[in-house]
A = this chain, B = another copy of it.
Amino acid sequence: MRLPVRRAAEVCPVEVAVSILGGTWKLTLVKHLTAGPLRFGQLGRRVPAANRKTLTRALRELEEDGVVHRDVHAEVPPRVEYSLTALGGTLAPIVEAMDSWGADYAARLAADPLQGRGSSRSA
């Protein structure tokens, strides 16, 4: 992962998407932002498993890739709002498809523990 986008494009367009969206939490962040702009802290509360540093980096990379817009309000206390760009908005179908696929997969796991350890490593 994290191939340079241009290299990824030479191999296969799907890898472009993966290289941009494949990082942990990134698609989750995009998903939450499809409902509207959110502040940094609000995003953090919606993804408690990600710490601030990780969150910041993910958002920065999404911003660099043109998916997310960062709006800094010069106030005290600071307020930073994140929203999807037009390009980010075009991800909605993908997010929805992957969300429902993932939900199905999780449901299947719960109902049918036989394939339980797939892609699970440590804890």
Tell me the A residues contacting B by CB distance below 8 Å: 1-9, 11-28, 31, 47-49, 61, 64-66, 87, 90-91, 93-95, 97-106, 109, 115, 117-123
Structural contact, A98 and B5, CB atoms closer than 8 A = no
Q: Once bound together, how far apart are the Cα atoms of A106 and B121, in whole Å?
A: 33
Structural contact, B28 and A11, CB atoms closer than 8 A = yes
The interface residues of chain B lying within 8 Å CB-to-CB of A101 are: 13, 17, 90-91, 94
Structural contact, B31 and A14, CB atoms closer than 8 A = yes
The interface residues of chain B lying within 8 Å CB-to-CB of A123 are: 4, 7
Q: A5-B105, A66-B115 are in contact. List 18 more A-B contacts (CB 8 A).
A: A1-B22, A5-B118, A8-B102, A9-B106, A9-B109, A11-B47, A13-B102, A13-B105, A14-B98, A15-B28, A17-B98, A18-B26, A18-B102, A20-B105, A20-B118, A61-B118, A93-B97, A94-B101
